[in-house]
């Protein structure tokens, strides 16, 4: 291959540096996927066996694209390269060796809904009030513990003395027992158990170290601690590890991502070669200069500056409107203008910080008659009818999965009520068997009485289909199941408006099964269930669907669009209130990286919008323009940000914040009220305000003062607060206002 005509000089360095640890700092749109692809192809051309190459990605979509590109370049033999996500890689290894950890190899993989169901059962069993300690808090704590590789026993030793965390510790231990009993793993377990396997069985580890002599990891900035350990162990023997990422795009701290993994790579591997990819092939200069200006305010980063030879392009457009409705209508109207100039719907993306912002945007697009899709809505595999059929398939494949079996024991209706389910579970617990095994012994459960006979059709159905699993192809097994339980008739009997859509979804599930059978090397029911369990939201973005896309900034990572709108550019919305209140530089830097990601999604045109007022939690709030907009030079903005709102002292006053479930304490979290009267930014502003001296004001009640926005007025009240003075002013033209002195910066006349 003559790569000099295909890659720029820095990309060539990244491809040719095959030996030893390599850190590729790949800025947004710098062609990292292209580099990874040619690196794999180059290794094969240099005589490295495809069998000895591993490439790890974060999404199935990215893995599929890389496989396709490598095959185009290399041709036959490339199928031996291991290209997969972290989770699917670990699942594949565990399918072969998890019996060494005491599990069956046909383990189930639980999604978030499954996990929540187990946590509910555990909390009920432990008499834990889930109104006080939310299920999501318990789930988050357990997930964080697993990402830190903290076992239930270690967690109990560390936090058992705390009332709240002690309860979480009890839940963690019971949750793990439930998973083991059900022969199930959650998503975090896929990684954790694989690391446990490597550490427990050196022979297994040596086997994979010998196989994977060259390892490439994409999106390394998003790895968490257990992912870092997984890769470290695999690369320990040969040290031929190449990680590709961008610390400026590390935005998944809330999922456990540790930015130190990429920032400290050269400390872990002192001999590492670092290569920077700074030429951007996506965006215009004005967009990149704006992104560079914003991210330069972060201190915890590796220096790099994106550039392009595509020309300046359009300046960024900033639009300040009165309300969120005005914002949504402006965006819809502007999209209409671009469509009339020849743009397609698929060229447009509207990004926002939180899902709640989508409602008004959706309604505005509907009224304008513009087609759209919301990324991150109900996942296909989370729909009720799909989960029902998957529960049947899980029970056929793994009779120890109590959660799946209990879901479908009365679907379709068999007259088996909640009381019978409780009695079966009690029998299972007493005899140390699974729920399905207990159902098979229904005649021995005296408390069931005549209800025992109602279980016979269900048990017989599962027994027959279990016997056919392996004999029939998967699609025939699926068809046999659907015919036996007559699920379509069950749906029609519910007499719901969306019955046809639900039946169509079942058909689509069968389509997925057909594709899986055609593409899998050795199709099995366990393999199919594993594949559908590991589908991410972003994998559902259809490039051929000609619609406007709405999504959160987090969901937009990895995508690009000619025209991008970022809505809600206000301090208090983006960055969010909690990041501001926390007074933690790392929190704001994480939000700034998210802004950088949003800006660099745009190829040709970027519009930023803000509203003077927005309804938050049922109340109209007035937030200033986002600091991220203020960090963009005026020369890059079509509409200049008003001078009076450019200063950082105009950060929002947070009058009160609802109770937040958790606040950070060490590596864990503690449930407690989180109520403040003013932000830490307000306290900082007080120290620098010209009208606050040694904690006192230089004006008093009755004095005339002037405000930068409301003009002149008379001070009618001053009330000391815990961190600042509340000042009431009757303005000549603006009416009565109550404000905090540190922000108001009133000047005595």
User: Catalytic residues, which ones?
Assistant: 32-33, 218-219, 249, 601
CA–CA gap between residue 347 and residue 343 (Å, rounded):
7
- Sequential DSSP letters for 644-700: GGTSGGGPPP-------S-EEETTEEE------SS-HHHHHHHHH-TTEETTEES--
Backbone phi, then psi, for 76, in 5-degree steps?
-60, 145
Q: How many CB atoms lie within 10 A of CB 558?
A: 18
CA–CA gap between residue 609 and residue 626 (Å, rounded):
10
CA–CA gap between residue 151 and residue 145 (Å, rounded):
7
Contact 530, 91 (CB under 8 A): yes
CA–CA gap between residue 641 and residue 621 (Å, rounded):
20
3-class DSSP state of 315? coil
Q: What's the count of helices (H) and strands (E) in the chain, helices before strands?
A: 31, 25
Cα distances from 53 to residues 48, 70, 168, 719, in angstroms, run 8, 12, 41, 68
3-class DSSP state of 732? coil
Backbone phi, then psi, for 701, in 5-degree steps?
-60, 130
Q: Which segments of 520-666 does DSSP mark as H helices, in order?
A: 525-533, 553-556, 577-581, 585-599, 627-630
CA–CA gap between residue 281 and residue 286 (Å, rounded):
13
Contact 314, 341 (CB under 8 A): no
Task: Supply the DSSP symbol for 147.
Answer: H
């Amino acid at each position: 291959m003559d790569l000099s005509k295909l890659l720029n000089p820095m990309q060539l360095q990244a491809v040719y540096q095959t030996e030893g640890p390599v850190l590729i700092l790949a800025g947004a749109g710098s062609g990292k996927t292209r580099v990874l692809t040619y690196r794999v192809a180059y290794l094969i051309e240099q005589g490295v066996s495809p069998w000895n190459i591993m490439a790890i990605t974060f999404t199935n979509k990215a893995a599929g694209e890389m496989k396709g590109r490598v095959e185009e370049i290399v041709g036959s033999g490339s199928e031996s390269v291991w290209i997969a996500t972290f989770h699917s890689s670990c699942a594949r290894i565990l399918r072969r060796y998890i019996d060494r950890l005491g599990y069956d190899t046909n383990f189930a993989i639980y999604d978030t809904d499954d996990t929540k169901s187990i946590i509910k059962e555990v909390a009920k069993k432990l008499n834990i009030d889930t109104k006080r300690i939310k299920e999501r808090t318990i789930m988050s704590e357990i997930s964080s513990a697993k990402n830190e590789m903290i076992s239930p026993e270690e967690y109990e030793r560390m936090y058992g003395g705390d009332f709240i965390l002690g309860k979480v510790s009890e839940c963690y231990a019971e949750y793990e027992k439930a998973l083991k009993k059900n022969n199930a793993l959650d998503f975090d377990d896929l990684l954790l158990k694989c690391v446990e396997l490597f550490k427990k069985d050196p022979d297994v580890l040596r086997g994979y170290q010998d196989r994977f002599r060259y390892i490439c990891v994409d999106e390394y900035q998003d790895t968490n601690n257990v992912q870092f350990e997984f890769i470290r162990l695999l690369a320990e023997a040969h040290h031929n590890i190449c990680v590709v990422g961008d610390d400026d795009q590390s935005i998944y701290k809330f999922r456990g991502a540790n930015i130190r993994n990429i920032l400290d790579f050269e400390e872990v591997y002192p001999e590492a070669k670092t290569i920077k990819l700074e030429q951007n092939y996506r965006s215009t200069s004005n967009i990149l200069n704006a992104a560079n200006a914003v991210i330069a305010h972060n201190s915890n980063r590796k220096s790099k500056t994106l550039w392009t030879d595509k020309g300046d392009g359009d300046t960024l457009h900033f639009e300040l409107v009165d309300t969120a409705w005005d914002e949504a209508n402006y965006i819809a109207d502007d999209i209409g203008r671009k469509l009339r100039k020849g743009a397609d719907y698929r060229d447009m993306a509207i990004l926002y910080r939180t899902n709640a912002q989508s409602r008004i945007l959706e309604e505005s697009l509907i009224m304008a008659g513009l087609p759209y899709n919301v990324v991150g809505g109900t996942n296909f595999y989370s729909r009720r009818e799909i989960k029902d059929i998957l529960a049947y398939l899980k029970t056929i494949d793994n009779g120890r999965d109590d959660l799946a079996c209990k879901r479908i024991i009365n679907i379709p209706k068999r007259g088996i009520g909640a009381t019978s389910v409780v009695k079966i579970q009690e029998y299972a617990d007493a005899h140390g068997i699974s729920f399905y095994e207990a159902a098979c012994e229904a005649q021995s459960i005296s408390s069931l009485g005549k209800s025992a006979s109602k279980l016979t059709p269900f048990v017989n159905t599962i027994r027959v289909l279990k016997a056919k699993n392996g004999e029939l192809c998967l699609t025939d097994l699926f068809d046999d199941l659907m015919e036996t339980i007559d699920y379509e008739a069950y749906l029609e009997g519910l007499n719901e408006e969306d019955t046809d859509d639900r039946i169509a979804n079942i058909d689509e599930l069968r389509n997925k099964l057909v594709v899986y059978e055609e593409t899998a090397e050795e199709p099995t029911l366990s393999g199919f269930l594993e594949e559908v369990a590991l589908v991410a939201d972003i994998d559902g973005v259809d490039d051929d669907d000609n619609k406007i896309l709405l999504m959160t900034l987090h969901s937009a990572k990895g995508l690009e669009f000619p025209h991008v709108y970022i809505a809600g550019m206000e301090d208090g919305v983006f960055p969010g209130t909690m990041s501001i209140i926390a007074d933690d530089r790392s929190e704001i830097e994480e939000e700034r990286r998210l802004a950088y990601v949003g800006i660099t999604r745009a190829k040709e045109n970027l519009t930023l919008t803000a509203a003077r007022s927005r309804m938050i939690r049922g109340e109209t709030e007035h937030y200033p323009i986002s600091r991220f907009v203020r960090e963009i030079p005026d020369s890059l903005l079509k509409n200049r940000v008003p001078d009076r709102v450019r200063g950082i002292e105009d950060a929002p006053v947070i009058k009160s914040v609802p109770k937040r479930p958790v606040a950070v304490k060490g590596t864990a979290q503690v449930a407690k009220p989180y109520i403040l009267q003013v932000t830490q930014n307000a306290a900082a502003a007080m120290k620098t305000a010209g009208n606050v001296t040694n904690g006192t004001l230089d004006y008093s009640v009755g004095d005339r003062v002037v405000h930068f926005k409301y003009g002149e007025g008379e001070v009618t009240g001053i009330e000391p607060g815990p961190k600042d003075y509340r000042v009431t002013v009757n303005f000549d033209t603006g009416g009565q206002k109550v404000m905090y002195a540190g922000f108001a910066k009133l000047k005595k006349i």
